[in-house]
Structure formats: structure tokens, C-alpha cells
Structure 1
Amino acid sequence: MTTHPLLREAQRLWEELARAPRPFPPAGDVDVIVSPRSELCPAGWVGVVALGGSALVTVPDGSAATTVRAALAGLPVEALRDAAAVRGVLPVAGVLGPAALSYASPEGFRPAALSYASPEGFRPATASSRVERLPGDHPALRALEAASGQDDSAEASLDAITSPAFVAREDGRVVAAAGYRAWPRRTAHLCVLTAPEARGRGLARTTASEAVAHALAAGLLPQWRARSPASRRVAAALGFEELGAQLSFEIAQGCRAAVPV
């Protein structure tokens, strides 16, 4: 099990987002907490964050707490990262995730080389010519979101960044961008998006590398939340350590009593 200081920093972040005065339990344990203002999940849902072999679970009310505690009692912590495992013990109406949670330290960060593959072949680049910095509200970012589709742009949340955007262009058009949103406890939540036709060329890694370097220079904790294997590979290539996962689910209406308590 990871004992890196990153783990404790990550746990403190999610303890604060849980909006309940409870720390993560010891390794192997799951703590179900009533917290209607939890930011681990949408309002009224159940939020799960597993880090370092233990998990915090927030529920909206006491009735949900009774149901969820009973249902999850027989599951190991690792199963809480699996939507299918949760569906096997609870009547679930909706699910978000799971998403892997990864973090980078100054010592572990591996900056990307400033070069990438393009339709014309391999393109070396310098920091000044390869990656451009734009304000977070620049129209070119909105154009990238429109070209990427609603699902991908919503997942990336470039419209929420509080940092500059670090972008790559092809033929004058922004085809990849990265930045971060300021979260509690001096956390920099990474937001990365690449146009569909430009994926697989290393652009996500190159732009994200600049955003991570910017965050670390400001003394922030970079956080990478990823659902897709491709995104997780980019994070790992940059030196992020995958420490856990987040999962949110909605209990089906009228079904709580169907779970033995």
C-alpha cells in the first residue's frame, strides 16, 4: 500500500469535500457518513472515494445510511471501485464513474518532451513555439469543446479552469488544451481535452505537462481524475501516482426497503 505523503494530502482533500468532520478510516475499512452537503457526488446521491485501501462513503440521510451500510458490509474496499459490484448489492438508478484519482509530486513529475507526432510526421518543437498560453475564456477553447462533442467536453470541463490554458495548434486551430481548476486545500484539478482527429499523437501529454508544471510552480497539488484507460496512461506517463478512485450512484426510488437491514 502506498505510504507516500501524496496519499495523506489526497485524503485530507476528500475529507473536506465530504463536508463531514470524519477522517478516512484505517486501511480495509469503509465509513458511511450522513452528509447531505457532500461534494463527493450529486445532491441526493451516494458518493464513494476509496484511497489507500480505505473508503469514505457519503449518503444524503439516515435511511440511506442504514441501507448502504448493510449492503456494503460484505464488500471489500476494492469492490467499491466497481460499479457492477455495487449494482450487485444495491438497487441503483444511476452511476457516475468509477474515475481513477491520481496525484503528482514535484519529485515524481516527468515533464513531456516538447515534440509530438502529426499527420505530416514527427514534429520537434520548442517551449515557445510548441505550446501556447491562452486565457481560460478564450473563444478558441470553446471551439475545441464544440468540435469534441458534449460528452468529452463535459468530462474535461475546460470551461471551469482557473489557470491559463496551455494549447497546441494545427493549421492555426487549437486541437488540444489543458489547464486546471483551483480546488480546496491548494489542489489543482487537471482538465485536458484533445480534438477527436488529433488524438494518439501525444498532444494531451504535451499540453498537460505544461499545466502540471504551472501548478507545481505555484505550490499546488496536481490531481488527475480519469475514467478512460487512455487518460490514465497519460497521467502515468507524466509521473502521477494512482492512489484510488471515485464512484457516485443514485439509489432507485422506493427500493431502499428492499435491501435487508
Structure 2
Amino acid sequence: MPMDPLVSRARALWQELAAEPGAAFGTPGRPAVLVAPGSALAPPSWVGVVTVGDGALITAPTDRAANSVRSGLTGLTGLTAAALTDPDTVARLLPVADTLGPALLGYLAPDALRPVGRTAAPTTCLSPEHASLRALLAEAGPSDAGESGLADVTSPVFVVRDGTEVLAAAGYEHWTRGTAHLCVLTAPAGRGRGLARQVAHAATAHALAAGLLPQWRARPPASRRVARALGYREVGRQLSVRPV
């Protein structure tokens, strides 16, 4: 049976981000484990675990870390992709100092973007360097701002404003393999009004028009709900592990 096109494109992306020639996905019970110090699957010196569809790819910063992962995570009957990216499960199987995630990985097919319907305020466009976006990042606070990734966008930023104040903003960061990594942030005063969906729709449509693959990486349930409402399909998971 042919592979789902979204799964195929997502795997190609993460194989390239592994930064190791010949990177390929294995099965959850026998994941591919690579020594890749330059991997973008996780922060530097961390182990990165990515599952897409029924495949799993793991990168480790050192031979020692890779051997530990192979010893603890390979050859386990019944280990699922969800379990492989579950912090509690991984902590039982490996010596772990800390974890980040898991984050869900969603992707959108070119014809799958769903409409947002009527909106109460127009969507306009700003440059990523606009001062009102810096004000939004400051208002949201370092945790929400960092989670959003909005400070790293390389596309135009689509916003809903109340006067000069930005209530919600979305853009994307250009990743390799023609991928548009979506970044969305809503001000505390603008939440619960559908504004995240409105601006994310505009940013996603812009990415699709440019022939890019929209990617939505989310941990908070609210972010996942917005992605699903727009038509993104969750096909993968990402977990970062800091080895002992």
C-alpha cells in the first residue's frame, strides 16, 4: 500500500533534520538510533525521539548516549509510537535527567484547509520586525512567547488588532524541505474568541499558496484544537530527552 503523502513528506523532513547521512525511520520496537551531534530533533546534547506514522527515528549526541538508548528501547515487543514518546515510559526504560514534550506534529494537505467562517475583525499583515509584535511577545510572557515561536518567523505575520494593539498573530518559519513551521500567539485579552484560528488560517493559506508544507507542532491542548479545526492531521510526535 502506498505511504500516506503527508507521512512521507514529514518523514523526509525529519530525516534531513537528523543531520546524518542515511537517516531512516525504524519501527517503534526497533527504532533507528543514530549518533548525530548536529541533529535538530532535540536541543544540543539531548536525545531526540520523533515518530511519524508507525515509524520512529532517534538521534543521540554521543556513542554512549546512543548505546544507552539502544539497550533500553530496542527489541521491546508491543512498544508503540505513543509509548516511545511518553516521558514516563521513557524514564522507566532509560536513565533520564530531564524531558521536553511530547509535542504533537500536525501537517496539512493542500486541499484540506477548512474555512473559519465570519470574523468580527479583519486580518491584516505586518512585518516580523514590527514593534507591535514585540509588544505582544512581552505581554504574553516568556513561557507562552517561547512556546509560540513567533519571534522566529520568516514570513509575513497575519494579525488581528484592537487599535494599535495586536490581539493575535500568526506566521511561519521556513524550514528545510519546503516546510512552513506555523507560529501562533494570542494576547491574554484576546483568548477564547477564535482569533488564533483566524490568524493561523491566513498564515496557513499563505504557506499553501507558496507551495509549502504547513507544519503545526503543539503541546497545549488549546493549540491542538486550533490545528484540528483548520484541518491539520496529527501524524507524529516529538520528545527530547536529556540523558544522565
TM over 0.5: yes
**SS in structure 2 at match of 1:144:** helix
The aligned amino acid for 2:93 is V
Residues 81-100 of structure 1 aligned to structure 2 (within 5 Å): 81-100=85-104
Match of 2:229 in 1: 237
**SS in structure 1 at match of 2:93:** coil
How large is the RMSD of aligned CA atoms in angstroms? Answer: 1.6
**Structure 1 residue 157 displacement after superposition:** 1.6
Identity over aligned pairs, percent: 52
**Structure 1 residue 3 displacement after superposition:** 4.0
Match of 2:155 in 1: 163
- Say whether residues 1:215 and 2:216 are aligned partners: no
The aligned amino acid for 1:6 is L
**SS in structure 1 at match of 2:242:** strand
- Say whether residues 1:200 and 2:192 are aligned partners: yes
Q: Does the C-alpha gap of structure 1 residues 241 and 45 become closer, same or farther in structure 2, counting only changes over 3 Å? A: same
- Specify which of 77, 80, 88 is matched with residue 84 of structure 2: 80
Deviations 1:132-187 (A, max 9, x none): 10001101001001010100001112111110000011243101000000000010
The aligned amino acid for 2:100 is L
Match of 2:8 in 1: 8
Match of 1:105 in 2: 109
**Structure 1 residue 77 displacement after superposition:** 2.7
Match of 2:71 in 1: 70
Deviations 1:17-62 (A, max 9, x none): 0011222225764111111111101111100000011110000111
Distance 2:187 2:204 in 1: 20
5+ residue gaps in structure 1?
116-122, 253-261
The aligned amino acid for 1:79 is A
Distance 2:60 2:66 in 1: 6
**Structure 1 residue 64 displacement after superposition:** 1.0
**Structure 1 residue 243 displacement after superposition:** 0.2
**SS in structure 2 at match of 1:210:** helix
Q: Does the C-alpha gap of structure 1 residues 38 and 173 become closer, same or farther in structure 2, counting only changes over 3 Å? A: same
**Structure 1 residue 87 displacement after superposition:** 1.1
The aligned amino acid for 1:194 is T
TM-score (norm 1): 0.88
The aligned amino acid for 2:47 is V
**SS in structure 1 at match of 2:151:** helix
The aligned amino acid for 2:54 is G
Contact 1:33-1:58 within 8 A present in 2 as well: yes
The aligned amino acid for 1:236 is R
Distance 1:27 1:60 in 2: 20
Match of 2:23 in 1: 22
